[in-house]
Amino acid sequence: MDTVTQKGYAKINLGLDVLRKRQDGYHELRMIMQTVDIFDTVTITKTDEEGRIELTGGCTGLPLDEHNLIYKAARIMAEAYHLPGGMRIHLDKTIPMAAGMAGGSADAAATFLAINRLYELHLSKEELAKYGVKVGADVPYCIVGGTCLAEGIGEILTPLKQMNDIPVVIVKPAFDVSTGYVYGNLHADELKNHPDIDAQIAAIEASDYKKAASLMGNVLQNVTIAAYPELDSIKEQLRSLGSFGSMMSGSGPSVFGLFEEKSKAEEAAHKMQILWPDAFVCATKLISNCED
């Protein structure tokens, strides 16, 4: 086997709480993460050029050098396992960039999973996740996927009852938001309202999705929505179009809405596209379907 293709799936946050800022500058988080079925595709081919990692594809503005998270992931694995030869890696990018949907982390996760298959390393997802955290805090989750509680800086994962196939409308406004800017402007010690993550977990475990949606909260909205108040109106619009829960994902600016029926989600996305051209429908996805 000389080539392997692997999908890397995007995520949304159903809950995101920041507990405190640690001495090392990282934030201690409690997040409910959910895979959605939009993905990038990473194709890795073995080459004879010893030690060379060559990256192609992607999209405008995305670095194809050592700054790319795919490159970092491949380099870590090449060195850790003394992989022979080199790699040519092609990225087909669909996940919107700097959108709060962990696109870069999904690509890194796909790279770890692809290398595991290509070089027949037989590492478990948990073992891959230990390398993943060296690339980024969301990478371990993107390797594991599905409905998960993520704690620590995001790397301590507890799978929850899986929320499969719930229609989701995602609206990605035309501007990007840097995760660094949002965390840099968050005053974790001054947060007054924290989402009740434990109650939300209980609702998910009881498959009471309406209750889980009513408990959704994301403290990063304090920073991103203060800078871009139009995100609040996107949440409102999604609700008025039938969503049973809408919120900003991650550090934003993507806003998502959960729907009971796919046809209603499609109708809502269609209407949202008048004001927000980058509005689309996807669905929540199971861990077990994330293999290829």
Q: Assess 114 for contact with ligand ATP (CB under 6 A).
A: no
Q: Which residue from 32, 98, 143, 163 is in contact with ligand ATP, where contact means CB under 6 A? A: 98
Respond yes or no: is residue 48 known to be catalytic: no
Respond yes or no: is residue 138 known to be catalytic: yes
Q: Which of positions 176-195 make contact with ligand ATP (CB under 6 A)?
A: 179
Q: Which of positions 246-275 make contact with ligand ATP (CB under 6 A)?
A: 250-251
Q: Assess 105 for contact with ligand ATP (CB under 6 A).
A: yes
Q: Looking at beta carbons, which residue is closest to ligand ATP?
A: 104
Q: Assess 68 for contact with ligand ATP (CB under 6 A).
A: yes
Q: Assess 34 for contact with ligand ATP (CB under 6 A).
A: no
Q: Which stretch binds ligand ATP (CB under 6 A): 16-24, 66-74, 194-202, 230-238?
A: 66-74
Structure tokens at 73: 């992931």
Q: Assess 145 for contact with ligand ATP (CB under 6 A).
A: no
Q: Assess 15 for contact with ligand ATP (CB under 6 A).
A: no
- The C-alpha atoms of residue 91 and residue 56 are separated, in whole angstroms, by 6
Q: Which residue from 33, 73, 77, 99 is in contact with ligand ATP, where contact means CB under 6 A? A: 99
Characterize 14-23 residue by residue with b for buried, 16 or more Cβ atoms within 10 angstroms of its Cβ, and e for exposed: bbbbbbeeee
Q: Which of 11, 72, 125, 172 is catalytic?
A: 11
Characterize 151-173 residue by residue with b for buried, 16 or more Cβ atoms within 10 angstroms of its Cβ, and e for exposed: bbbbbebeebebbbebbbbbbbb
Q: Assess 100 for contact with ligand ATP (CB under 6 A).
A: yes
Q: Which residue from 38, 53, 89, 101 is in contact with ligand ATP, where contact means CB under 6 A? A: 101
Could you give the C-alpha distances from 147 to 142, 252, 273, 287, in angstroms and in order?
Answer: 11, 19, 28, 8
Q: Assess 70 for contact with ligand ATP (CB under 6 A).
A: yes
CA proximity to 84, closest of 43, 50, 41, 117: 50
Task: Give the up-direction half-sphere exposure of residue 84: CA atoms within 13 A in the CB hemisphere.
Answer: 4
Distant-in-sequence, close-in-space partners of 240: CB < 8 Å, separation ≥ 6: none
Q: Assess 86 for contact with ligand ATP (CB under 6 A).
A: no
Between 27 and 241, CB nearer to ligand ATP = 27
Q: Which of 7, 138, 172, 235 is catalytic?
A: 138
> At residue 221, what are phi and psi to the nearest 5 degrees?
-60, -30
> At residue 118, what are phi and psi to the nearest 5 degrees?
-60, -40
CA proximity to 238, closest of 171, 149, 144: 171
Binding residues vs ligand ATP (CB under 6 A): 62-63, 67-70, 97-105, 107, 138, 179, 250-251
Catalytic residues: 11, 138
